[in-house]
Amino acid sequence: MALERMKLLADAFEMARSSYTTGVKVHSQPFSDDLIGFNGSDFLLLLPTHGLKTYSGPRLSNLEINSYELILSDGPKCFLSIAVPYEKLWKSIAFLLEIIQDDQQDQELRLEEIIRKWNDKWSLMSLPLSGREIRGLIGELLVLKLLIKGSNQGIVSNWDGPLDGLRDFSSDYFSIEVKSGYDVLESCWISDLEQLNPPAQGTIELILVKLNDNEDISLDELYSELCVEISDEESLNAFKFRLNAIGYVHAEIPEYSINYGIESIHSLSITSENPLMPNDVYAMIPRFVEKIKYKLNTSILPVSESLPEEISSLAERFSN
């Protein structure tokens, strides 16, 4: 439920962003008395107050808090506003959701308590990507680049991996899960058993991108190439939004410019008729265990080597 509400909040922000571009306009949410606004550059979470109040509590380093009086359809109203820059939106959604769900009547106290907690959390969230995360992201960006060649730039909207999606690329009946690394043809890690468990009438394409130490391309180079190739503004914003969501900042650390070689790409189609795991075995695994990862022995899977154009052709299946 929390993830669903976070996605609802993200949708509401996106609606405000695309609908209003000047002035402070507001958009009611489906699950709160609070409002979402957009002032032309930042999203605003507007918390209703009795009269104009100046917030004097602790601050978040990356969010601005102000007071507003707006003339709405039912008369003037006063708010405390939390301004969220577009590039920090996804990182801030869980924080904003907690404020929205809190039932504290005193808005200043409401903010103080939650901000103190999130200041501590965010101090741990600014770490750069690890080597494994870099190699995993290189695989996803490589597949995204190939999918764009096979369809159009709108395929970016199907890239759910950075937004905590169950699979890296998703639609109703077709999904792609990408695993990338040095030893990906021997084994890889699965964060959720559902990741490779297809729906009754759906297909999951498992793509294994094997890397080596040849100097073909770096994460920063892939990012720059895609920023040039994605000329559609909406798709480019969606692309950058997803990378901001996982904490990637272009040229932030030397590791992002390390070159990797693309040794091979292998793939395997997984369907309910051709499952990765027999249903009776799958049903025996307990679901109450949380935060567990599974090691998949890919060396025994009947994967086949795929040409780049074969990966590109998979893009058509997202529109069928």
The whole-angstrom separation of Cα 54 and Cα 5 is 29
pLDDT of residue 177: 96
pTM over 0.75: no
At position 320, the amino acid (one-letter code) is N
Q: Is 177 left (phi over 0), alpha (psi -120 to 50) or beta?
A: beta
pLDDT of residue 21: 36
CA distances from 147 to 19, 26, 155, 176 (A): 29, 36, 7, 11
What share of the chain has pLDDT > 90, as a percent? 33
Using alpha carbons, select from 267, 239, 262 the residue that is nearest to residue 177: 267
The whole-angstrom separation of Cα 138 and Cα 246 is 13
Gap between the terminal Cα atoms of the chain: 29
pLDDT of residue 168: 94
Tens digit of each residue's pLDDT (9 = 90 or more) over 175-207: 999 999 999 999 999 888 888 888 878 999 999
The whole-angstrom separation of Cα 152 and Cα 239 is 13
pLDDT of the chain along its 320 residues, tens only? 344 554 555 555 555 554 443 455 555 554 456 667 666 667 777 777 777 766 666 666 567 777 777 666 667 777 777 877 766 666 676 677 777 666 666 666 767 777 777 766 665 555 678 899 999 999 999 999 999 998 878 899 899 888 778 899 998 889 999 999 999 999 999 888 888 888 878 999 999 999 999 989 999 999 999 999 998 888 998 898 888 778 788 888 889 999 999 999 999 999 988 888 777 777 777 665 555 678 899 999 999 999 999 999 999 999 76
The phi, psi pair for 266, rounded to 5°, reads -120, 155
The whole-angstrom separation of Cα 288 and Cα 303 is 31
Tens digit of each residue's pLDDT (9 = 90 or more) over 195-245: 888 887 899 999 999 999 998 999 999 999 999 999 888 899 889 888 877
CA distances from 304 to 126, 179, 300, 313 (A): 38, 15, 12, 16
| Host H or E run for residue 148 | helix 131-150
The phi, psi pair for 267, rounded to 5°, reads -145, 160
Using alpha carbons, select from 27, 1, 30 the residue that is nearest to residue 14: 27
